[in-house]
Amino acid sequence: MAQQGGGTSTLLRGTAIFAAAATAVLYLLGLLLVGLTVSEVGSGTNSTPMHQCVYASNVPEGAQVETHEVRYLPVHILCRTTDGRVFNSGTVPSWLNPALAVSFAAAIALAGAAFVQADRRAAARQASARS
Protein backbone atom coordinates (compact mmCIF):
# COMPACT_ATOMS: atom_id res chain seq x y z
CA MET A 1 0.00 0.00 0.00
CA ALA A 2 1.42 3.41 -0.96
CA GLN A 3 1.88 5.86 1.85
CA GLN A 4 0.06 9.13 1.63
CA GLY A 5 2.41 12.07 0.92
CA GLY A 6 5.18 9.83 -0.43
CA GLY A 7 4.93 11.30 -3.92
CA THR A 8 4.99 14.85 -2.58
CA SER A 9 8.06 14.14 -0.50
CA THR A 10 9.86 12.53 -3.44
CA LEU A 11 8.95 15.45 -5.70
CA LEU A 12 10.21 17.97 -3.12
CA ARG A 13 13.49 16.10 -2.66
CA GLY A 14 14.02 15.72 -6.40
CA THR A 15 13.29 19.37 -7.06
CA ALA A 16 15.60 20.43 -4.21
CA ILE A 17 18.38 18.30 -5.67
CA PHE A 18 17.78 19.82 -9.11
CA ALA A 19 17.88 23.36 -7.68
CA ALA A 20 21.10 22.57 -5.80
CA ALA A 21 22.65 21.17 -8.99
CA ALA A 22 21.56 24.27 -10.92
CA THR A 23 23.15 26.45 -8.24
CA ALA A 24 26.43 24.53 -8.52
CA VAL A 25 26.43 24.74 -12.32
CA LEU A 26 25.72 28.49 -12.32
CA TYR A 27 28.43 29.16 -9.75
CA LEU A 28 30.95 27.06 -11.69
CA LEU A 29 30.01 28.92 -14.88
CA GLY A 30 30.70 32.24 -13.15
CA LEU A 31 34.03 30.96 -11.82
CA LEU A 32 34.96 29.70 -15.28
CA LEU A 33 34.19 33.06 -16.89
CA VAL A 34 36.17 34.93 -14.24
CA GLY A 35 39.03 32.45 -14.35
CA LEU A 36 39.36 32.63 -18.14
CA THR A 37 39.30 36.41 -18.04
CA VAL A 38 41.91 36.68 -15.29
CA SER A 39 44.16 34.10 -16.97
CA GLU A 40 44.45 36.43 -19.98
CA VAL A 41 45.78 39.27 -17.82
CA GLY A 42 49.25 37.85 -17.26
CA SER A 43 50.11 37.26 -20.90
CA GLY A 44 50.42 39.30 -24.05
CA THR A 45 50.95 42.89 -25.01
CA ASN A 46 48.60 45.38 -23.36
CA SER A 47 47.40 42.75 -20.89
CA THR A 48 47.59 45.03 -17.87
CA PRO A 49 45.25 46.70 -17.03
CA MET A 50 42.73 44.07 -17.99
CA HIS A 51 41.26 44.47 -21.49
CA GLN A 52 37.72 43.89 -20.19
CA CYS A 53 38.13 46.81 -17.77
CA VAL A 54 39.65 49.25 -20.26
CA TYR A 55 36.98 48.62 -22.91
CA ALA A 56 33.95 48.03 -20.66
CA SER A 57 30.79 49.84 -21.66
CA ASN A 58 30.43 51.45 -18.23
CA VAL A 59 33.92 52.95 -17.80
CA PRO A 60 33.57 56.35 -16.11
CA GLU A 61 34.29 59.15 -18.57
CA GLY A 62 37.89 60.29 -18.50
CA ALA A 63 38.92 57.54 -16.10
CA GLN A 64 42.15 55.61 -16.40
CA VAL A 65 41.84 51.97 -15.31
CA GLU A 66 44.52 50.96 -12.85
CA THR A 67 43.72 47.46 -11.58
CA HIS A 68 41.02 44.85 -11.07
CA GLU A 69 39.67 42.83 -8.16
CA VAL A 70 37.96 39.44 -8.36
CA ARG A 71 34.93 38.84 -6.12
CA TYR A 72 33.56 35.34 -5.61
CA LEU A 73 30.22 36.13 -4.01
CA PRO A 74 28.58 37.57 -6.05
CA VAL A 75 30.82 36.42 -8.88
CA HIS A 76 32.24 39.42 -10.75
CA ILE A 77 35.36 41.41 -11.52
CA LEU A 78 35.57 44.97 -10.24
CA CYS A 79 37.76 47.44 -12.10
CA ARG A 80 39.42 50.26 -10.17
CA THR A 81 40.46 53.58 -11.69
CA THR A 82 43.42 55.73 -10.67
CA ASP A 83 41.06 58.16 -8.89
CA GLY A 84 39.49 55.35 -6.81
CA ARG A 85 36.26 54.81 -8.71
CA VAL A 86 35.05 51.23 -9.07
CA PHE A 87 32.90 49.66 -11.79
CA ASN A 88 31.93 46.18 -12.95
CA SER A 89 33.89 44.76 -15.89
CA GLY A 90 30.85 43.04 -17.40
CA THR A 91 32.73 39.75 -17.74
CA VAL A 92 30.01 37.84 -15.91
CA PRO A 93 26.57 38.17 -17.57
CA SER A 94 24.16 40.35 -15.62
CA TRP A 95 21.63 37.49 -15.28
CA LEU A 96 24.04 35.02 -13.66
CA ASN A 97 24.16 36.31 -10.07
CA PRO A 98 20.38 36.80 -9.73
CA ALA A 99 19.80 33.31 -11.19
CA LEU A 100 22.37 31.96 -8.75
CA ALA A 101 20.59 33.60 -5.82
CA VAL A 102 17.16 32.34 -6.90
CA SER A 103 18.36 28.77 -7.44
CA PHE A 104 20.14 28.77 -4.07
CA ALA A 105 17.07 30.10 -2.26
CA ALA A 106 14.88 27.55 -4.05
CA ALA A 107 17.21 24.72 -3.06
CA ILE A 108 17.12 25.78 0.61
CA ALA A 109 13.33 26.26 0.64
CA LEU A 110 12.63 22.97 -1.12
CA ALA A 111 15.04 21.04 1.11
CA GLY A 112 13.34 22.54 4.16
CA ALA A 113 9.91 21.62 2.83
CA ALA A 114 11.10 18.07 2.13
CA PHE A 115 12.38 17.73 5.70
CA VAL A 116 9.10 19.05 7.11
CA GLN A 117 7.14 16.63 4.90
CA ALA A 118 9.34 13.70 5.98
CA ASP A 119 8.92 14.67 9.65
CA ARG A 120 5.14 14.80 9.26
CA ARG A 121 5.11 11.38 7.59
CA ALA A 122 7.26 9.93 10.38
CA ALA A 123 4.97 11.40 13.05
CA ALA A 124 1.90 10.01 11.26
CA ARG A 125 3.55 6.58 11.03
CA GLN A 126 4.34 6.60 14.75
CA ALA A 127 0.81 7.68 15.61
CA SER A 128 -0.72 4.88 13.51
CA ALA A 129 1.68 2.31 14.97
CA ARG A 130 0.57 3.17 18.53
CA SER A 131 -3.09 2.76 17.64
50-86 pLDDT, tens per residue?
888 888 888 888 888 888 899 999 999 999 999 989 9
Residue 91 and residue 34 in contact, taking contact as beta carbons nearer than 8 Å? yes
pLDDT at 2 over 50: no
| pLDDT computed for residue 20 by the predictor | 98
Phi–psi pair at 88, nearest 5 degrees: -80, 140
| pLDDT computed for residue 22 by the predictor | 98
Q: At what angle do helices 6-41 and 96-130 cross, to 10 degrees?
A: 150
Question: What pTM did the predictor assign?
Answer: 0.82
